[in-house]
Amino acid sequence: MIAQWMLYVAIVSLLLTVASYAAERLLRLWRRQARFVWCAAIALSIAIPLVSIAQAVGVLPAFDVAGVPRGVAGPVVALLPALSISASAPILDGVLATLWLVASAGLGLRFAAVARALRRRRAEWRTAMVDGHPVLVSRDAGPAVVGFRSPAIVVPDWVLGLDASLRSLVLTHEREHLERGDPRLLGATIAAAVCMPWNLVLWYQLARLRSAMELDCDARVLRAHPDARTYGSLLLAVAQRADRFGLLAPGLMESRSLLTRRIAAMRQAAPRHRVWLTAALASATVALGVVACDLRSPSDPAAAVPSVLAAEGAYFEFQVEQPATAVAGFAQPRYPDLARVAGVEGEILAQFVIDENGRPVPETFKVLKTSHEHFTMAVRNALPQMRFHPARVGDRNVRQLVQMPFTFTISR
């Protein structure tokens, strides 16, 4: 089961990554900041799976995404168990859980050791006022912003010898990181990635967030000092001498591949047909985001794995040739007296299995959404008296897992 859930998480993260890539492209077309897009992707890559677990155990009710009925991505999720059908073995689950814990602990200790080493280095740097700004001055470390709890700008000695205009560009870039809270944001996202070390897509999202931070800061620096040629030359000069801190500190110089992207972004002109491209990217972002949020976890009874389906003999609606339908005149849930007296109306979305004889199986009853517990009890009590024409596959009746809404309206 753990392997199936991990595969589900990876697919959700991948969908969110493609949606975020489209969203970033859209924002860059209009020269807008885009770091929040990747922050949202990382947050949702963790939140959606956790919500799916909470719904599966009944802590949270199921809900619709943007008004889209659950199950839009049902056929996609149906493929998950087929890719990892052996994952239900308890031994494999235990091995995966152990490896997960070991990897998280190892990465956590590794980052803690790097942070400790950075604190020791920081203690050796001297404080100074450079062009009216407090900074730490190192022998060769930086330029960057270091520290999560008390972040500070660190610059190497050679930055002090730069021309005043170039030194101002370096400090402006680092102040942008500091004022936007980038060190704390990086700390939070690194902690999130450490919690799911096996999710390579999540680590890619973290790398894209780092890139977006630098591009956003570059754009703000160029708005204050609109000389792209000088700023690009500065980036090239810093790339030859900068001492990078890796993930733990945002700085003026990141990877060489990112340098190429940053310089290209400074020279990028608005493309033709920008409005049409915007519409296409916006549509892709929304569509992929909805599918990612609607994708059901294998732990959700509505997306049960084949072993469970085989035990119950139940099918999804898209798997049957003729879905189950209600028999005319079957028993309707009784309107709760207290709700009627109070003038309260509502609805409930219920899920249950209909057997080969068209009878609901009460033990499979599950509430996906409800306005009030009174309405839930009314549907639960009426369920044994309901009758349906059973679902069919070929020439035989089969059990089907259905989701059915019940609306309680007081006649005026």
Q: What is the pLDDT of residue 243?
A: 64
CA 390 to mean position of chain CA atoms: 39
Instruction: Report pLDDT for 65.
Output: 45
Taking residues 378-404, what's their average pLDDT? Answer: 91
- In whole angstroms, give the CA distance from residue 200 to residue 386: 48
274 — alpha (psi -120 to 50), left (phi > 0) or beta? alpha
- DSSP letters along 76-137, please? HHTHHHHHSGGGG-HHHHHHHHHHHHHHHHHHHHHHHHHHHHHHHHHHHSEEEEETTEEEEE
pTM of the model: 0.69
Higher per-residue pLDDT: 311 or 291: 291
What would the two tokens of residue 133 be?
């700004």
DSSP state of 68: B
Q: How far apart are CA 4 and CA 348, in angstroms?
A: 30
Helices (H), 225-336: 228-241, 256-267, 274-294, 306-312
Task: Look at residue 304 and tell me whether its pLDDT is greater than 50.
Answer: no
SS3 assignment, position 240: helix
Q: How far is residue 102 CA from its own chain's centroid?
A: 24
pLDDT in tens, 81-127: 433 333 344 677 788 889 999 999 999 999 999 889 999 999 999 99
Count of all residues that appear for the chain in the document: 412
| Residue 222, amino acid | L
Distance CA 155, CA 176 (A): 15
- pLDDT at position 59: 59
Does residue 326 have a pLDDT over 50? yes
| Domain boundaries, given as residue ranges, for the chain | 2-119+181-236+252-294, 313-408
φ and ψ at residue 149, rounded to 5 degrees: -75, -40
Decide if 282 contacts 34 (C-beta within 8 A).
no
Q: Tell me which CATH homologous superfamily contains domain 313-408.
A: TonB (3.30.2420.10)
For 209-261, the pLDDT digits (tens) are 999 999 999 999 999 888 999 999 998 888 887 666 666 677 666 666 788 88
Answer yes or no: is pLDDT of 57 > 90: no
